[in-house]
C-alpha cells in the first residue's frame, strides 16, 4: 500500500512488525493487547503520514510510538484491573516453544523473571537483549537519558541473574 | 560487573522470541488502509505541517523564533512613546498686545534694513584681488 509522499505501510510492517510485536508482548504479556497496540501504531502511521517525515531511525521511532501506546494502555488499565499483573500464569510467554525440556524450562523461568520486573526495566532489558540497541538508542526510543537506560538495564539484569542463577548453573554444567 | 554476566547476557539474548502471527498482517494493514485519509482530502494538521517544515531541528528553529520574538518585544518596549494630545495641540492665539509688539519690531527691522548706503561687506569690489606676492610689494611701498 503506497501512501502519498512515499509512505509504504506494508514495507514498514514487514520490516518492523516482528520487533514491535516482541516488544509489546514483553510489555503487556497479553496477545490480544499486543495485537490492539500493534494495530494502533500502524493506524496512527496511516492517518498521519507526516509522523515519519524526516525520521532517520524508523525502528527507534516506531518503538517509541509502541511504547507510548503501551504506557497509555497500562495507565488506562491500571486503575480498573490492577490485579491483572498478578496472574502470571495467564500471561503470554514472549518466547517460542522449545522441544528440548531444559531449554523450555529456562525460557519459562526467564519469562517468569521478566514478568516480575517493573515495566520500565523490562522495556530497557528487552531492547538491549533482544533488539541489540545501544543505551543511546534505547534512550532515544524511550525518551529517557542514557544513564537512566543503563541503570535500569543493570537493575533488571541483576534481578534476572538472581532469579535464574541456579537454573543457569545447571544448564551450564549440563552443556559442559 | 561479574565475569559471568557476559555469557549470561548472551544466553538471554539467544532465546528466540515468538514470531508475530501471520494472520495479523492482512488484518492490521486493512485497518490501517481504512484509517488512511482519502487521496486529495488529506490535509496535514498544522502541527505536522510545522514539524515537516522545520525538520530536522525543530527545537533550534523554535529557539531562534523565541529570540526574535524577544528582540521585537524589547524593541517595542524601548521605543519612545508617541506625543500626547497636549503636546500636539495648536498654541493659543497671541494676544493683541503681543501682535502689536511684533508688528512694531517688524517695522523697526524694516527701517534698519532700508538704511542708506550699502555696508562694507556688501560693496562690490572693483577689481579681483592681486596675488599674495604682489600685495606684499604694495604694502612695503
Q: What is the ipTM of this complex?
A: 0.81
* Residue A2 DSSP label: B
CB < 8 Å to A110, chain B: 12, 15
* CB-based contacts of A140, cutoff 8 Å, min separation 6: A57, A60, A64
CA geometry: angle at A157 spanning A160 and A129, to 5°?
105
The pLDDT, as a whole number, for residue B69 is 93
Q: CB pairs under 8 A, 24+ apart, for B10-16?
A: B11/A168, B11/A171, B12/A110, B12/A129, B12/A160, B13/A129, B13/A130, B13/A132, B15/A95, B15/A106, B15/A107, B15/A110, B16/A95, B16/A96
CA trace torsion A14, A18, A21, A27 (10° rounding): -140
Cα–Cα distance, B8 to A76 (Å, whole number): 35
Q: Could you give the angle at which helices A31-47 and B23-35 cross, rounded to 10 degrees?
A: 40
With 0-12 / 13-18 / 19 or more C-beta atoms within 10 angstroms meaning exposed / middle / buried, residue A163 is middle
| Cβ–Cβ below 8 Å for B35 and A22 | no
With 0-12 / 13-18 / 19 or more C-beta atoms within 10 angstroms meaning exposed / middle / buried, residue B128 is exposed
Of A22-26, B46-50, B137-141, the poorest mean pLDDT is in: B137-141
Low-confidence ranges of chain A (pLDDT < 50): 1-5, 86-89
Substitution target in A48, A128, A133 with the highest count of B β-carbons within 10 Å is: A48
Helix (H, G, I), strand (E, B) or coil at A95: strand
Backbone phi and psi for residue A95, each to the nearest 5 degrees, phi listed first: -100, 155
| Cβ–Cβ below 8 Å for A93 and B45 | no
Say how many Å lie between the first and final Cα of chain B, rounded.
116
Substitution target in A110, A161, A166 with the highest count of B β-carbons within 10 Å is: A161
Identify which of A76-90, B30-44, B125-139 has the greatest average pLDDT: B30-44
| Cβ–Cβ below 8 Å for A161 and B5 | yes
Cα–Cα distance, B24 to B34 (Å, whole number): 15
* C-alpha cell belonging to residue A120: 520500565
Backbone phi and psi for residue A8, each to the nearest 5 degrees, phi listed first: -105, 100
The pLDDT, as a whole number, for residue B18 is 92
CB < 8 Å to A14, chain B: 25
Minimum-distance CB partner of A46 among B4, B36, B44: B36
The pLDDT, as a whole number, for residue B71 is 93
Cα–Cα distance, A96 to A32 (Å, whole number): 17
The pLDDT, as a whole number, for residue A2 is 41
| Cβ–Cβ below 8 Å for B36 and A3 | yes
Minimum-distance CB partner of B24 among A35, A130, A164: A35
* CB-based contacts of A5, cutoff 8 Å, min separation 6: A49, A50, A53
How many residues does the structure list for chain A? 176
The pLDDT, as a whole number, for residue B111 is 86
Of A85-89, A137-141, B12-16, B133-137, the poorest mean pLDDT is in: A85-89
Whether a cis peptide bond, with omega within 30° of 0, leads into A146 is no
Amino acid at each position: 500500500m503506497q501512501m502519498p509522499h512515499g509512505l509504504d505501510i506494508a514495507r514498514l510492517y514487514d520490516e518492523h512488525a516482528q520487533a514491535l510485536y516482541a516488544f509489546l508482548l514483553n510489555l503487556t504479556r497479553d496477545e490480544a493487547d499486543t495485537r490492539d497496540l500493534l494495530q494502533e501504531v500502524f493506524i496512527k502511521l496511516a492517518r498521519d503520514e507526516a509522523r515519519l517525515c524526516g525520521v532517520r531511525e524508523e525502528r527507534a521511532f516506531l518503538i517509541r510510538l509502541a511504547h507510548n501506546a503501551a504506557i497509555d494502555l497500562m495507565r488506562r488499565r491500571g486503575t480498573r484491573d490492577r490485579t491483572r499483573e498478578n496472574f502470571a500464569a495467564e500471561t503470554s510467554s514472549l518466547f517460542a516453544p522449545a522441544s528440548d525440556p531444559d531449554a523450555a524450562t529456562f525460557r519459562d523461568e526467564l519469562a517468569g523473571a521478566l514478568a516480575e520486573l517493573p515495566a520500565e526495566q523490562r522495556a530497557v532489558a528487552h531492547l538491549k537483549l533482544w533488539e541489540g540497541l545501544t543505551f543511546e538508542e534505547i534512550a532515544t526510543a524511550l525518551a529517557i537519558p542514557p544513564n537512566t537506560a543503563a541503570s535500569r538495564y543493570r537493575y533488571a539484569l541483576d534481578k534476572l541473574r538472581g532469579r535464574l542463577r541456579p537454573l543457569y548453573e545447571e544448564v551450564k554444567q549440563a552443556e559442559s | 560487573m561479574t565475569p559471568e554476566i557476559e555469557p549470561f547476557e548472551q544466553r538471554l539474548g539467544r532465546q528466540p522470541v515468538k514470531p508475530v502471527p501471520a494472520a495479523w498482517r492482512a488484518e492490521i494493514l486493512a485497518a490501517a488502509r481504512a484509517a488512511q485519509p482519502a487521496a486529495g482530502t488529506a490535509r496535514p494538521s498544522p502541527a505536522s505541517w510545522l514539524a515537516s517544515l522545520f525538520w530536522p531541528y525543530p527545537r533550534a528553529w523554535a529557539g531562534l523564533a523565541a529570540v526574535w520574538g524577544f528582540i521585537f518585544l524589547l524593541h517595542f518596549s524601548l521605543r519612545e512613546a508617541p506625543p500626547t494630545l497636549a503636546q500636539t495641540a495648536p498654541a493659543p492665539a497671541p494676544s493683541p498686545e503681543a501682535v502689536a509688539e511684533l508688528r512694531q519690531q517688524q517695522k523697526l527691522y524694516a527701517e534698519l534694513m532700508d538704511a542708506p548706503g550699502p555696508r562694507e561687506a556688501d560693496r562690490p569690489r572693483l577689481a579681483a584681488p592681486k596675488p599674495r606676492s604682489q600685495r606684499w610689494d604694495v604694502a612695503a611701498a
